[in-house]
Structure 1
Amino acid sequence: MLITVASMTAACGNGDGAAPQNESTRPNTAAGLDTHHPGNVAFFKQFRMPNALLVKPPENLAAGADTATAVIVAEVADVRRTRVVGPPEARVPMTGIVLRPVETLHGKLRPELKDVIVEFTGEATVDSPESIAEMRASLPQGKAVWFLRWQGTPPPTSKPGARPIPRESKKFYGVVSLDGGMFVQGAENVVSPIAAESGETAGPPTMRKAGERFDKLSELAKKVRTLD
């Protein structure tokens, strides 16, 4: 139940370019989806935000897919600092995960964007490159399923006088929710490692809980394909 990066950066600018990672669609991707890579969960846990402002996440995978610009199977190609946002007294660094798309399961990636970069809130030290270098040295292996929302997507409702979406934000995607916006193959079942409550089953239904009920990531991907 966490606020997404897209909503945090909707009123902020400043950013850098990224290496090209064009969308592609390849058949027979299921085999690699079900391989468990122990280091992947540890890598993605770095992007959890347990104290973030709570918002209601999508209640199931279908609702998550409807919210998303695209749901894709992708590998991680790189990680980098994208920009620093916020007022001078509260600057917040943003970290971008550069994806290499393997298959589009639902929706469509933005054709004008040659790079698929998913932004997350970075670490507290805005000028330090060390954390980026450390993450780059331990990039996750294999494939994950990502529910992506383009940051240029207009909000469902907006207040009179609201600021327009900055041009810089339109270069990036965010996950539809930090509580289930991406999934990887875990040791025993599918997990959403960016979710602070990953593995928790109590409470109302959410897309994370729905996704984590699958034993295999290929089964989750198959389910999302049927939603198109």
Structure 2
Amino acid sequence: GPVQAVLARRLAEADPGRVVRHKERLAYVIVATPGRTFRLRDCVLTPMELLEQWDAYTIHSAYYITRHVNAALQRCLGLAPHFLDVNALYEACPKPRRRIHFWPVTRTGNSIMISSYFGSDICALCKQKCKANGSARAVVCQDCQQDSVQASVAALSALKMSQKEAQLVATSCGECNGCVESSNTFARTKHQQRSEGGIQKKTRTGIVSPLAHCTCIDCPKTFERHRLKEKELESIAVCGAL
């Protein structure tokens, strides 16, 4: 299709030695872009490009739901005796609130996502709406802070559970790629020392590239480790808020 043609042209320009055969099917992913309107040719990446820059892009879930999932459901539920309009139901249903992204720094470290300037206004413990604390990514409401012991136990338990699950998945990855893997070897933060007014400060400049380069782009372990890393960072932020 046109999207694959644009992707093939871009890949050929980036790597002149790459040969794209006639009618060759290229795997691609549509990523989210700011704004209500977008052109598909500006949002297409290869699956490997998405995995290599997973802290800078996110899959365009609304596109896949409206164009593919809803279309498949409509072919089934639009027949007798249901006669349902899946698209109308999708538009009428409430959408989940987009969560705060816990990796606002891109892989190169040269730019910052706009989400880094906005804090969360959902309590991390009771999930109720509360007052945001500046640009803090995790907040705890006043009701939960009244019982500081219970809140601390809940936050530490969530952190311990996320680290334990991440360690189990990392062990499975280590058996596959032959490298020493742990919960700390995935998406480690890269820091750089800089001097401001004679004071040494440590700033985050991106993510350290992993030692093992996985060739399976459909491996569920990679996405599971990504999810658990997000969960761990969120738990650490909650502990800091307490």
- The TM-score bracket by the shorter chain reads under 0.3
TM value normalised by structure 2: 0.22
TM value normalised by structure 1: 0.23
- By relative contact order (CA 8 Å, sep 6+), the higher-ranking structure is 1
Higher strand share: 1
* Higher CA-based Rg: 2
